[in-house]
C-alpha cells in the first residue's frame, strides 16, 4: 500500500509537472509575443518620428517660399531709391515726413490745418510740419511758384533749392496730403509730385532763388563761383 501511495504521488507530481511545463513554456511565448509587440511598437514610433522628420522639410519649404514671396514687396524700396536718385539728378530729393502715431486728442483740434502766412509781403497758404504744432509751417512749391515765381516750374524750383541752395525738401504724410487736397492746395495724387519746404527756409533763400531760377545751371555755377549772393552770405 505504501508503494501504491508513493506511485500515486509520483504520478500526481508528474502530471503536475506536465501541466506546469506547458505553462512555463507558454509564459516565455507570451513574453516573446509581448516583447514582439513592444519592439514592433517601438519600430512604429521611430518610423513615425522619421516620418515626421521627413515631413518637416516639407513644412519648412512653404516657409522659405513665403519668405521668397515676401521679398518682392521689398523691391519697391530699391525702386524708391532709384526714383530718389533719378529725382536728385533732376533736382528732386524728398525727405518723407513720417506718419503720425494715432492718439486721442481731448481738445478735438486738427493735427494738421491750412494757415495763411506772409512771405516777403505776400500771403501764401501753409500747413504745419508737426501735428498740433501750428508754428512750424511748410509751403508747397506749387504755391510758392504760383505766388512768387510765375515763370518757373515746380521741378526747376525744386532743383535749384536742393542743388544750389541746399534746402531740404519734404513730401507730406497721408494726413497732410489729405488736408492739402481738401483745401484745394494739392494738384496731384502723388506725394512725390508735391514737394514742400519749410517756410522759414524759403524766407531766407527767396531772393537768391528768384535770381537763380532764371539762370541755366552753367550760369548758376559761374555766378556762385564769381561770388554771388549765396557766397557773400556765407562769408558774412
Residue range 15-49, pLDDT digits in tens: 655 554 444 444 444 444 444 444 444 455 555 55
Mean pLDDT in residue range 185-195: 77
Domain boundaries, the chain: 1-74, 88-99+109-235
Gap between the Cα atoms of 8 and 234, Å rounded: 134
Count H helices and E strands in the chain, helices first. 8, 6
- Range scoring the smallest mean pLDDT among 30-34, 80-84, 162-166: 80-84
Q: Cell numbers of 219, please?
A: 550760369
Helix 141-148 vs helix 199-212: angle between axes, to the nearest 10 degrees? Answer: 50
Other Cβ atoms closer than 10 A to 201:
17
Model pTM score: 0.57
Q: How far is CA 173 from the centre of its chain?
A: 15
The pLDDT value recorded for residue 225 is 80
- In terms of CATH, what superfamily is 88-99+109-235? Ski (3.10.260.20)
Q: Where are the beta strands (DSSP E) in the chain?
A: 94-96, 114-119, 122-130, 133-140, 169-171, 196-198
pLDDT digit string, tens, across residues 207-220: 999 999 988 888 88
Asked whether residue 75 carries a pLDDT value surpassing 90, the answer given is no
Which candidate, 73, 236, 91, places its Cα nearest to that of 163?
A: 91
Mean per-residue pLDDT, 159-182 = 94
Q: 113-143, pLDDT tens digit by residue?
A: 999 999 999 999 999 999 999 999 999 999 9
Of 7-16, 39-48, 79-88, 162-171, the poorest mean pLDDT is in 79-88
Segment 60-76 shows an average pLDDT of: 41
Mean of the pLDDT values across residues 52-65? Answer: 44
Identify which has the larger pLDDT, 43 or 234.
43
Amino acid at each position: 500500500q505504501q508503494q501504491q501511495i508513493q506511485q500515486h504521488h509520483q504520478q500526481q507530481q508528474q502530471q503536475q509537472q506536465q501541466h506546469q511545463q506547458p505553462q512555463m513554456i507558454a509564459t516565455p511565448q507570451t513574453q516573446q509575443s509581448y516583447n514582439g509587440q513592444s519592439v514592433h511598437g517601438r519600430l512604429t514610433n521611430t518610423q513615425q518620428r522619421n516620418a515626421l522628420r521627413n515631413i518637416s522639410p516639407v513644412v519648412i519649404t512653404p516657409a522659405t517660399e513665403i519668405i521668397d514671396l515676401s521679398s518682392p514687396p521689398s523691391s519697391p524700396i530699391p525702386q524708391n531709391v532709384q526714383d530718389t536718385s533719378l529725382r536728385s539728378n533732376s533736382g528732386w530729393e524728398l525727405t518723407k515726413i513720417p506718419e503720425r502715431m494715432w492718439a486721442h486728442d481731448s481738445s478735438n483740434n486738427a493735427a494738421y490745418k491750412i494757415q495763411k502766412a506772409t512771405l516777403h509781403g505776400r500771403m501764401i497758404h501753409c500747413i504745419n510740419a508737426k501735428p498740433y504744432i501750428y508754428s512750424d509751417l511748410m509751403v508747397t512749391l506749387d504755391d510758392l511758384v504760383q505766388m512768387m515765381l510765375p515763370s518757373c516750374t515746380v521741378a526747376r524750383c525744386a532743383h535749384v533749392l536742393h542743388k544750389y541752395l541746399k534746402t531740404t525738401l519734404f513730401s507730406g504724410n497721408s494726413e497732410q496730403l489729405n488736408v492739402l487736397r481738401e483745401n484745394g492746395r494739392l494738384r496731384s495724387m502723388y506725394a512725390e509730385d508735391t514737394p514742400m519746404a519749410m517756410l522759414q527756409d524759403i524766407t531766407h533763400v527767396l531772393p537768391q532763388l528768384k535770381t537763380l531760377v532764371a539762370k541755366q545751371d552753367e550760369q548758376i555755377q559761374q555766378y556762385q563761383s564769381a561770388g554771388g549772393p549765396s557766397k557773400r552770405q556765407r562769408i558774412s
